[in-house]
Amino acid sequence: MPTRRLTTLERMPAPDLLRRLGVHVTQRGGELRVWSRNASSMELTIFDSKDPSWITAVVPMTKGDGDVWSARSPKLAAGTRYAIRASGPKGKTHDFDPTRVLLDPYARGLARTSTGEWRSYVQDDSFDWGDTQKPKIPLDHTVLYEVHVKGFTRSNPNVPEELRGTYAGLAHPSTIAYLKDLGVTTVQLLPIQQSVSEQRLIKQGLANYWGYNTLNFFTPHASYASREAQFGGTGAVLREFKGMVRQLHEAELEVALDVVYNHTSEEGPGGPTSSLRGLDNASYYRQMADGDYIDVTGCGNTVDFSLPAAQRLVLDSLRYWAKEVQVDAFRFDLAATLGRDANVDFDSRHPLLHAIVHDPQLAGVKMIAEPWDVGMGGWQVGHFPDGFLEWNDGYRDRARDFWLTDIAAARHTGVAAQGIGGFARRLAGSAHVFSQERGPLASVNFITAHDGFTMADLTAYNQKHNLGNGENNRDGTDNNHSFNHGVEGPTRDEDVVASRCKAMRNLLGTLLLSAGVPMLTAGDEYGRSQRGNNNAYCQDSELTWLEWSNREDWQDDLWMVAQQLLRLRRENPALRPVHFARFGETVPSASQMDWYNTEGLSMSESDWNSPTARTLQYLAASTPEFEEFNRILLVVHGLEADVTVTLPEHEGVIGYTLLWDSAEDDLSEAELDHGPGSEVRIAGASMQLFRAEQKPARRAR
């Protein structure tokens, strides 16, 4: 049978009905396009340039194909303040009010009136990027560093006072020098899209410091800009943000944004209506037939991503930040919500998740999922599609348990709670969680994040201390996997301080020597404390700002440990495999792993599982593809009594050189070189990293 030729009409792609939403300016003025399926009428409202409360023009909008409403006006030029008013049907699932002034969901600029109302404005996007390019850090070299824009530099005396706590402060040469000296590669910013505080917090006299309450998906948070930029006219805040990105890129540092698309600041049905609810409540938010919201985020509302228009809103926002603002990576808050279908079930094949990692306009951008939400079936670690990295909370909990709660149990009962096997699986890349195809780099390993105890507080508090949050200590998790080492909170007891410091060194060593992509929370490198507050989302004060002076000596020592570990990670590719190894095969850019017990023999089942045998030797050899061959030996000992290990004998290994010991701040007097089969003393509850020296390759005659 002959092949039928497609007609011209059949060859044509389907029209993009959701194209060019928001305002687009031409030489003849601007056009506004807004999606709403249920509105019955809509109008563009333009305000006076000097008084954003005074209406100067009202332009009726016309509904076209794809439920897109549009209007044109020569007044839609850079700096023009505008809003939308929408009418529509009444009913339990609707919230139309033609007197209400609404923000354009695609607005690239926002301004406030003297009474505190918000207005959209037409943004001036001009910026000179020069020759600056994205750093494109290879994933196996990537080290994420989670930062709050304000809190990072607010107290830094090395930053000019007028720039502290701002985008420009983050881009200051002293800040960049700190990041480069430490050795991280990717600055992951807590939410910087314009956010507001919840009504409850405002009534309490508190503020949402973290910023997980987004007002608009296209505008940078104005209060993080310098005062000069905030009063610098159209585009000044955005230019300061772009300038920060450019400066970081010139220093070969990537910028990642923590983005909150799962819900908006409109809260529950009785919350403030600013945009999506007034434009089409029944479409944008998940609801029951009676109008009650289906809330899988715990934040009052949930955006309905079974809707193509909501999917497109996210994709267009990502494209904007990745292309026009040159952002390198995104971390998706409560990302399971983005993958829920029309039945509110998570689907790893969801069109939005698929589009995020396959959109040609987002090629090369790192995508990181927080792979859970609070709804039914919300924990989805390991189930996101290939192309996503995922926060690995199992790694976090097992690392904390091994070095903290297991040690506490052994002190109190004489026996640790578990053996070393589960810890070893996490150390080697969590192959039981992530598929062979995705590999170890799908795992974002972390010990702490913005949410929870800091690393120092994990070692100093058994309970949370959140009274300052105004909720009678009810907020924040009680499941901290922490151990105070005998004293709750600060102490001058030298033994307790020494135990805590060693625990922090072990936690840092675990994080930075594990297979996967590590994420370090800003301040953990020197032992920052929040005085036991494990939910400091509403604390904008010295409690949450990074401390830059008056540190203890042990804090400076810990910083140097973090710096050293980051250097050792860079220098030893065996620590950062790209792929999982396969038995009997040579897989490029994988690490061949061998495991030994204290006697230098292969691990037995008892060695893996016994709570009394919490010691292993992890020998990892790279399979070179882009770097030189490398082999390391990591010795992990998870009991507080010292132990003697026999270093393993392995083909080709002629010796071991000690690179780092979590029990020792100074190796200047330590014996560094050891032969295979020699005995080495390992201090209680500690780690040692060796480079395995290889027999020189025989030259061909």
* 699 has pLDDT over 60: no
CA dist., res. 82 & res. 111, Å (int): 10
pLDDT of residue 8: 54
How many CB atoms are located within 10 Å of the residue 105 CB? 25
The domain covering 18-121 belongs, at the CATH homologous superfamily level, to: Immunoglobulins (2.60.40.10)
Q: Is 395 left (phi over 0), alpha (psi -120 to 50) or beta?
A: alpha
C-alpha distances out from residue 373 to 293, 356, 441, Å: 16, 18, 22
| Catalytic residue, candidates 333, 373, 406, 540 | 333
**What is the pLDDT, as a whole number, of residue 546?**
98
Looking up tokens 């509904």 gives 63
Cα–Cα nearest to 105, from 295, 320, 299, 353: 320
The CATH 2.60.40.10 portion of the chain extends over 18-121
pLDDT of 98 over the 80 cut = yes
Q: Checking DSSP bridges between strand 254-259 and strand 366-369, what pairing results, if any?
A: unpaired
**CA 424/CA 429 separation, integer angstroms:** 9
CB 592 within 8 A of CB 633: no
**DSSP codes, 109-135:** -EEE-TTS-EEEE--------TT----
Task: Please indicate whether residue 390 is annotated as part of the active site.
Answer: no
Nearest to 463 by CA among 484, 490, 493: 484
Write the pLDDT tens digit of every residue in 364-415: 999 999 999 999 999 999 999 999 999 999 999 999 999 999 999 999 999 9
Least confident of 112-126, 140-154, 171-185, 345-359: 112-126
Given pLDDT bands bounded at 50, 70 and 90, which one contains residue 28?
Answer: confident
DSSP code of residue 518: E
The CATH number given to 589-694 is: 2.60.40.1180
Cα 124 to chain centroid distance, Å, stands at 29
Q: Look up residue 684 and give its amino acid.
A: G
Instruction: For residue 322, give the DSSP letter.
Output: I
Residue 565 backbone phi and psi in degrees, to 5: -65, -40
| pLDDT for res 348 | 98
∠ CA 524-530-532, nearest 5°, is 110
Q: 618 in helix, strand or coil?
A: strand
Angle between helix 553-571 and helix 494-513 axes, rounded to 10 deg: 20
Phi-psi label, residue 414: left if phi above 0, alpha if psi -120 to 50, beta otherwise: left
153 closest CA partner among 549, 585, 694, 571:
549
d(C-alpha 161, C-alpha 622), whole Å: 47
What's the chain's length in residues? 701
How many angstroms separate the Cα of 418 from the Cα of each of 40, 55, 452, 607? 63, 68, 24, 11
Per-residue pLDDT, averaged over 213-226, amounts to 98
Give residue 4's pLDDT.
65
Confidence bin at 21 (pLDDT 50/70/90): very high
For residue 74, the cross-strand partners are none
How far CA 278 is from CA of 47, 52, 90, 605, in Å, comes to 19, 20, 12, 61
pLDDT at residue 104 tops 70 = yes
Pairwise CA distance, residues 327 & 176, whole Å? 17
Q: State the pLDDT at residue 439.
A: 97
CATH of domain 139-571: 3.20.20.80
Q: Is the dihedral of CA 248, 250, 253, 258 positive or negative?
A: positive
Q: What is the pLDDT of residue 506?
A: 98
For residue 194, with 0-12 CB atoms within 10 Å meaning exposed, 13-18 middle and 19 or more buried, which class applies?
A: buried
pLDDT tens sequence across 425-451: 999 999 999 999 999 999 999 999 999
d(CA 526, CA 456): 9
| Cα-based angle 339, 341, 345 (whole degrees, multiple of 5) | 85
Q: Are 82 and 43 in contact (CB under 8 A)?
A: no
Residue 490 CB neighbours (<10 A): 11
* CATH code 3.20.20.80 region(s) in the chain: 139-571
The amino acid that residue 122 corresponds to is: V
Decide if 401 is catalytic: no
d(CA 512, CA 559): 13
The letter for the amino acid at 53 is S
Contact call for residues 84 and 44 (beta carbons, < 8 A): yes
SS3 string, 431-485, reads CCCCCCCCCHHHEEEECCCCCCCCHHHHCCCCCCCCHHHCCCCCCCCCCCCCCCC
Average pLDDT over residues 182-207: 97
Confidence of residue 2 (pLDDT cuts 50, 70, 90): low
CB 186 within 8 A of CB 254: yes
Q: Which two tokens stand for residue 299?
A: 């934040």
Instruction: Specify the residue for token string 């601007």.
Output: 30
Rounded to the nearest angstrom, the gap between the alpha carbon of residue 582 and the centroid of all alpha carbons in its chain is 30
CA angle 118, 121, 123 (to 5 degrees): 135
Active-site annotation holder among 295, 370, 540, 661: 370
pLDDT attached to residue 6? 58
Mean pLDDT within 534-551: 96
Six token digits for residue 475? 């907020």
Give per-residue pLDDT as tens, 619-675: 999 998 999 999 999 999 999 999 999 999 999 999 999 999 999 988 988 899 999
User: In angstroms, rounded to a whole number, what is the distance separating the alpha carbons of residues 181 and 177?
Assistant: 6
Q: Give Cβ neighbours of residue 356 (< 8 Å, ≥ 6 apart).
A: 314, 315, 318, 338, 362, 367, 387, 388
The closest alpha carbon to 318, from 300, 330, 302, belongs to 330
In whole angstroms, give the CA distance from residue 567 to residue 561: 10
Confidence (pLDDT) at 406 = 98
Residue closest to 692 by CA, chosen among 593, 608, 626, 588: 593
β-bridge partners, 331: 258, 368
- What is the structure's pLDDT at 27? 81
**Taking 60 as the threshold, does the pLDDT of residue 1 lie above it?**
no
Kindly list the distances between the CA atom of residue 375 and the CA atoms of 295, 337, 348, 463, in Å, as whole numbers in the listed order.
7, 8, 16, 26
Rounded CA-CA distance 472/674 in Å is 56
- What's the CA angle centered on 505, arms 485 and 156, to 5 degrees? 100
Evaluate whether 84 touches 34 at the Cβ level (below 8 Å): yes
Listed residue (63, 15, 22) closest to 39, CA to CA: 63
Instruction: Name the nearest CA neighbour of 696 among 659, 653, 657, 656.
Output: 653
> Residues spanned by CATH 2.60.40.1180 within the chain?
589-694
Report the chain's mean pLDDT, rounded to a whole number.
96
Report the DSSP pairing between strands 186-189 and 144-147.
parallel
Q: Where is average pLDDT lowest: 1-10, 54-63, 131-140, 348-357?
A: 1-10
Q: What is the pLDDT of residues 243-253, one digit of tens each?
A: 999 999 999 99
